[in-house]
Copies of this chain bind each other. A is one copy, B any other.
Amino acid sequence: MTDFLPPIQTTARDDAVLKALAGFVRQEALGPGEKLPTERILAERLKVSRNTVREALTRWEGLGLVERRQGSGTYLKAAVSPDMLHMPLTLSGGNDFAGLMRTLEIRRALEAEAAALCAIRGGKAEIAEIERKLDIMEDAFRTRAGMSSEEDWEFHQAVYRASGNPLFEQIISAMHELFHRFWEHPLGVRDFGHASFPYHRTIFDRIAAHDPDGARAEALKLIATVEDDLKRGAANLKLSDRR
């Protein structure tokens, strides 16, 4: 039975508002950080109520596309285009060990693939940029005795960018934020990330040699060390805090 009858669509005010707004952003070539019209103006221009405008903007805010600052205005936080795919991921119980391990499984898959693609497609400029970040990171690691998480992250981002596929950076960035929320609840492992340090250079070497399989293997080793650190942290946590 293939009687295909899609549901009819009668009203979709706020969706229409978002569509119009996306068109406006495109028209005015607005980029991240720029301010978009006030709610009152939008309501008047689009001939809808300010409430409707608010519902639409609330959706964009929930998607992280926009930031509202009371008394100031509403600002773009990311590039928006009329053809966007929204992918709201929900991780239940994300504050626990199992949740972190699940994100790490995703990251393992993506990190390895990104490194391999990078080895295949990385041009001279991209590889030079990665090496620059690597040098910065190694320097920070030495001078600050291991606390180089920010520089570490920048190195990885450079790899994702050089993969030629922006989706890698987008997805892994979201997971990175997740990790940071966890760090606020610091788990007793003081030297977290130490073990992963040497693999950054080995990954870079394989990328620079345009060796996809080697890059993938080194990336997997790096993730494995992070998993070990996480397991150690979980063991510590079990003995102390329970919130």
Binding site for B on A (CB under 8 A): 51, 54-55, 58-59, 61-65, 78-81, 83-95, 99, 102-103, 105-106, 108-110, 112-113, 117, 165-168, 170-171, 174-175, 177-178, 181
Contacts and interface: CB of A to CB of B under 8 A. Distances in A.
Of A59, A61, A86, A165, most B-chain CB atoms within 10 Å: A86
Contacts of A89: 86-89, 167, 170-171, 174
A217 to B, nearest CB: 13
A109 B85 CA distance: 19
16 contacts: A62-B86, A79-B92, A80-B92, A81-B92, A81-B93, A85-B91, A86-B88, A87-B91, A87-B170, A87-B177, A88-B88, A105-B167, A106-B113, A106-B168, A110-B110, A171-B171
Nearest to A51: B51
Nearest to A56: B58
Contacts of A166: 102
Nearest to A61: B59
A111 to B, nearest CB: 9
A3 to B, nearest CB: 15
Contacts of A91: 84-87, 167, 170
B99 A110 contact: no
B109 A90 contact: no
A84 B80 contact: no
Given A58-B55, A105-B117, A105-B165, A170 B85 contact: no
Given A94-B83, A105-B165, A109-B109, A88 B59 contact: no
B165 A87 contact: no
A64 B88 contact: yes
Given A55-B55, A59-B58, A90 B94 contact: no
Contacts of A167: 89, 91, 102-103, 105-106
A109 B83 CA distance: 24
Contacts of A165: 102, 105-106
Given A55-B58, A59-B62, A171-B171, A178 B102 contact: no
Contacts of A62: 58-59, 62-63, 86, 88
A80 B63 CA distance: 18
